[in-house]
Structure 1
Amino acid sequence: MMEHLTLIMRYLMANLMLAFDGSATVDFPEVAQRAILSLGAGVEIGDALLDEDRVCHLLVDETQDTSPGQYKLLLCLVQAWEPDDGRSIFMCGDPYQSIYLFRGATVGQFIETEKQGRFGPKEMEVYHLRVNFRSSPAIVEWNNKIYSELFAGPTSSFVPSVPFRSNPGQVTVEALLTPLAEGVRVVSLIQDAFKVDPSQSVAILVRARSHLKFILPALKQAGIQASGTDIDPIAESDPVAEVVSMIKALWHQADKTSWLALLRSAFVGLSWEDTLAVSRGHSVIPAALRMPEVLASLTPEGNARVMRLTEALDGLEKASRGDELAWKARALWMGLGGMSTVDQTELGDVKTVFKLLGTHTATGDLDNPQAFFNALANLYASPKAGVVQIMTLHKAKGLEFGTVIIPSLQKNGGRDDTPLFHWRTINGRFFLAPNMGTEDDMSPESRLFNYLGSRVKADHHDELERLGYVGTTRPISNLHLLACKDIEDEDKGSSNSLLGALKRVLANEFVGVDGDADQLEVVGGVPSKARLDADHFVELPADSFIPAATNEAVPTENELHDELREGEGNDYRAKVEGIVYHRFVEIIAKDGLVNWPVSKLSGKGQAVAALMRREGYPIKDIPAGRDRVLRLLTTTLESEKGRWILSAHDQSGQEVQVSGYRNGRWVHRYLDRTFVADGAYWIPDWKTAECPEGMDVEAFLRAITSRYQQKMEEYRAAVIDAGITLPVKPCLYLPAVDRFLEL
């Protein structure tokens, strides 16, 4: 089994490398692995360390959360250091705050380094920081008592803290009978905290968003504003939900639910009665909106709102970009006044949805609707300003708050599926065991898999204890722990809950509290909705420029990129070579010639090849294409005219965009480079074409001039229209023959 698994993993690794190579990208683990290999990986000194050995001091913060790969990288960096060479290592960490096991962090490495007092060739002095500068004496003493017992053991290095502050504080551990009662109790604790100090910070820390099910409604009913990061799914925000319904409606005319939601949105604002009348008119809502009998059944206000919507929809259909879903959705939302229905935070969320829609509509319509809606489900709303902060215990690490409330101790965290295999390093040896399922429970592989699984489970339990420690050390003055349990039930709490991890030390701490769940009143009836006025009109700013006689001529994507089509011809390789060359001369001009000696190009072959792969250049032809691009760049840097173009000049620019409306169509151009020199405004254009074999160079130059004369005249006219008063001089530079043509 292991032989087969090893073979499969080798094939998977080989295919991963091919995928990296094909896309000219790598992921973060691969970057770290290549760094380790370049440094020598402990076998011999790597070329990277021989070439770059300026690191004299290492400072590693949060060392307890480093992964084995990160630890190995650090060891490679110091492998050639000497004990007394003046170089130093400083590590800072707390093994009892290691809570990133899911990212591969292994606290054991830090603990072992602490025990040995050595890292690589360097001996290290160990200092235990005892003073707590954050919490009140009451909280510090409570944490000392609880965690000295919880972390007790022959290998424990837990050191009790000494409080620096002298402010008053309290710790409560409360048991409530129902989640509703817990929600009410959280509200009461927050209100009590603000009565004592209205300016203090208050935080609710949980392991998962699902633990807030009864708490968020209680806060809302009490009028307590709360902000949270990665708490509220973006699609559950009212403005975003309305935009998503609009997108679905535009995408599918027969999506009745989405069309009805659009009618009820704040920027359309149809009443319940009018919406019901429309829904009864026809099963396809866009058809119902145009039926005379339906319009006759609406209220006068309803008629006005429907007329406003249908006029906006008709305008979209007439527009030249009406077949682009992303543009159409944004245009309809803004045209109906959507901007007036959101605040600044909500506007950011709406823009996020439009941006996501744009990435999923490369062909104009949704390429993969399910992928778009799945991606939307993984986004969270931007946190709003609030007096109470809500976050996960992991995100709270390193922060402090006046009052901290940790509710729902009894609730479990997420459960992971049984993995395909477990792996672990034990006593310096690496073990990997595949999951054999139920086929052979007594096979060596299964027994090893179960053993390693038990070790992994123990690691998770230990980390859960440390997560509790992180949470209870966040407050300055007040700490409140809540759990839904019977005060007499000491066995409550599974092994995957904070209560289960801490119950042996919290058993005698709980105090029963009677929460009044009746305070949560559910108000029935049809909800009201804020909406724009029926006659709301979106006005353009007074200084907006509207081209005359445009005839709805909004430039299409094809028109925007007609310049690319013009210059690419039928030779795709030549087009890509030109793109890569343009990219490099742009970088050279920005960095300055002084930073780009010709010799520097010798180390850029890999970067050129990567850019060519990214643009779709045939893999087998990349070496030849790369060499040609490097040859063109070398000629440019060695050429008097090439260096003159790239030199620093007044009013210089790169990829300057110039747009204009000419002869009934949009003209959209990018100028490679512009600058002022010798009393003129120069517009040089790079052209990477090769002189065909057997053709006279002068004849080739005449052909190039003829080909690009009109285009360069358009450039001249465009910059003059933009307000340039100096003489305008378009010109071409051809690095393949090192010639400069002033047109």
Structure 2
Amino acid sequence: MNKLKNLRVILASAGSGKTQRLAQLAIESLQKGQGVLAITFTRNAAAELRERILTLLKAGHAPLARKVILGQAPLYTQTIDSLTRELYQRIAPLLGVAVYQDVVVEEEDYLEVAHTLARRLIENLHQSEFRRLLLLRVEKEVEARARRILPEALLRRELLTLTREGPFYLLVRKALAQSLRTGLLDDLDPEWQVALQLDKREALFLPFLSKALETYRQETQRLFLSDISALVRLTARYLGSLLAEHTSFYAHLLVDEAQDTSPQQWEILSPLMEELRSRAGSLVSLIGDPKQSIYAWREADFRKLIEFYEQAEYQETLIQNFRSAPIIVEWNNQLYGDIAQRLRDFLINRKNSKSKSPVSDKASILDAIETLYTPSQVLQQPTREVEGWVEVVTLAYSDDPDVLLRERARKLQEILAGLRAKGVSPEETAFLVRRNDEIPLLMEMLPGYPLQVQDVPLRSCSSLHLTFRYLAGEAGPVEELYAARAGMVEAVKHLKEKLTLALTLLDKWRIFYDVAQQWLRILPQHQPFWALFLSELYGLLSRHTNYGWSEILIWWQEKAQNLSLHLPPTEGVYPILTIHKAKGLAWQAVIIPFAEWGLLQAEWRDTKWRLVPRALMDSVLAEALREIEPLFPQDTPIPLPLKIKSEVKHPFLRKLYEAYAIEQAIENLNLHYVATTRPRQYLYLIAAQPGDKAYKVKGANTWRGFWNEPQLSKVYDGAGK
């Protein structure tokens, strides 16, 4: 195989010093007088990397550090989004495109635009056709979700979808809608019709939304990040040399967390990478860990990093672990070192071979895992000489979820007491959960313990969510039953009437405060959520004293429900995070209180865009998309919005579904890997036996069932259990 010149790919497992290695590479180039561009995925990561580079420079190369600070040595650290904006500003004049300085990037700005446009569209309700179509869309929503929804809320949601997806996807939607309206898709294969969720009501409604967005762009001279990303991608596809000129400022391109890069982002980076690789003395460095790829829902594709690694001129693997105690490193080595073979024995060769799986051929999942979890990329060498402990706790199965909850709570309290006896402080003892809805349950099990939720959206608080469902008039049977059981029906049912009569901002705030106090008597663990909400509500009403119940509801739907409890570590308080938020962090002790998620869970719940080669499309569908073919070269697949059911039979759609199931199986495994590599000294996993109805775990295809296999006993014996 011909190696890709001037390409270095570094595979860096958890705790292996990835940021330090990135900083060293940047310094090596700066010392040669070369410019460096480092791409990360968050502004915090970009700031952290720059700070690490400057710290190392100050320690050993103070004059060079001064040059970097003064801008005399070219060091650029930025996110992929800011790079996209910069490329757009450079190429727009060359392409004869207006250079819009105001670009909608932040989530809050997207919400504001959706609110503005939804209000404008509601003003058009006097148009009989628009009113009829909107009512049909609301009717469909009620049928599908068995709950009421306000027309304006539906409009905001659909406008948000279109603005985030961008113009490429909108053109595909418009082409499908046009073909559906003209009857061209009437003869489409039934399974393709189901997968595309074709609905004439949506097809007739789409032009109104599309026109509203186009008018907004023209009137405000604003673009969305998805707009400029589409233009930059088109340029990369057809006029890559225009983007390549950007590399004149630097000779070394570094891409951090490369496993989280999406195909669209690779498309933007490709011309820059190719230009640098073609120049003598220049270099492209990619660094990441495919085992920590946990953002498949954002279209991240770790396979590209593996592909680059296999083709790179310079290959590097960081195998030392500077984070965890030897016993934790050993436990992870034994568990993940031959995980594919263990799973093969567990799922195929033993009693679970007939268990239900979303993939007809389980071997395909195992082959994918084997590619990812090769021993050479998994096994690490510990470097720290500290004591450690790993304990896997199995809870006996019970039909009564309350019994199981009490037993789990008892074990958690026992673990916390043991850690305090070892001198481990609460702020160094983290609880990691997979889903946000596990957090209130955890707080319920540990009343009286100082717990701090970090980076959890307010909408995950069931009492707040239900309160606003009633205020919106959208409470369904499930919410009504929940409120009745909590004795809160009267408190939330008449909220709208009370707010209508309230005159001052304190009166309005007090109404919500009283509701909060009633909820907290029943669910005291929700206190942090209500405290943040009431604080934000007071600020809102102070700025807008004339706001009534409808404006407060819109504020909740557009902004407040997405606010997160983001609190810095506090002395004497136990942090609670989702595994996604824990990535890149570490604590002295980590507890995974609900470790029984399935090994092979896969359910295609929402619409996902998938690339489909024209040769594999239904011929009717290919004809319907003919008008957008100029945007896609002959050999380029076309993205389609799909929602495929598990029982699909069509060969290509079945292949897509199984590919998605493999993605989910790998993400389930990667989440487990990320969680178990966060602790420095102590790791605890708690799981119920398979069949635990409280968490809807069925059959033996769970981590708990897997742990019960005899071949894993040595892992626990070797780790101190």
* TM-score (structure 2 length as normaliser): 0.49
Larger Rg: 1
TM-score of the superposition, structure 1-length normalised? 0.48
Which structure: greater helix fraction?
2
